[in-house]
A = this chain, B = another copy of it.
């Protein structure tokens, strides 16, 4: 792939989701992407930025909520105003990624954008970057390119991508055609997907010419498309706020998978680079246990500076957001998340049920801790 093509590449980081299954660590005011969940010293959004920067330089746009402006800039002080897109309210991924596409297209219609969620853990970075290079080379041939993740277990938590034949693209030796995106399967189906070898996890990574993204968006979500284009036309002008305030609140909420990826795949416009890096979306506290080694002396994975943990016949995960002493006695695979105003005690097996607790607290009016 010529370096010319990489010059057209612009990263986009949608930083939206709260990460409800990581409550009470993640919450509306401190969503998942603002935490260091791997003990690396970097928050997830900082690590996402640092993974892309060697490919893009400072051409990385972040789309996030107005409320997170200060926190995001604290994490990414090099982010110039031009590359910070603030949503006045959340509108799901089609609007967020679509707005980035529209603004980038307005500025330079030759741009190839690459959208990568702010809250994933990936390594080694060099392997990821090589996959992105192949994706950019493939996108330059007029494809929407996703980077699929080789499944390691029959997960029912992810959507899948069905690959069809191998493509023959200069600079992208591993590029595959994509037959379809399929929704999160049940357990039996997930096992079949895993066994077939043709299904990869959909990690929501999309690399594509902005024009192609917008064309599919226009076809499947014309109302959203028209609104986003009007906002984008005003974006770099003095009337940005006024136009945004008028149009954004009424835009339809939908996912980029429905609005672009699935119809584009049906049209034969999608390709895939299989990612052979390790990948984790840190979906719950069990993931924290996977991603962080347990202390050999205590069998406990501890996250949090200054944590003071005593363990006796215990194992599991402690996330400490306080300076309190935490004593764990006689519980296996426990999950304890200790924050100043809320405490979670569960097990790794029940880590997915945290979402239900958050929904219950919301319904009960305990919104001060959400």
Contacts and interface: CB of A to CB of B under 8 A. Distances in A.
Interface of A: 24, 308, 310, 312-313, 323-331, 334, 336, 338, 340-347, 349-350, 353-354, 356-357, 360-361, 364, 366, 369
A343 B361 contact: no
Contact of A341 (B325, B349, B356): B325
B330 A331 contact: no
Contacts of A312: 353, 356-357, 360
B331 A369 contact: no
A200 to B, nearest CB: 31
A11 to B, nearest CB: 36
Contact of A345 (B329, B342, B366): B329
Contacts of A325: 24, 341-343, 361, 366, 369
Given A308-B366, A366-B308, A327 B313 contact: no
Given A324-B341, A338-B343, A329 B354 contact: yes
Contact of A347 (B323, B331, B342, B353): B331
Contact of A336 (B345, B356, B357, B361): B345
A345 B357 contact: no
20 contacts: A310-B360, A310-B361, A310-B366, A312-B356, A313-B353, A323-B341, A324-B341, A325-B369, A326-B342, A327-B344, A327-B346, A329-B347, A329-B350, A329-B353, A330-B349, A331-B331, A331-B346, A336-B343, A336-B345, A338-B343
A344 B329 contact: yes
Name, among A323, A324, A325, A336, the residue most crowded by chain B CB atoms within 10 Å (CB to CB): A325
Given A310-B357, A310-B361, A347 B327 contact: no
Nearest to A341: B324
A342 to B, nearest CB: 4
Nearest to A369: B325
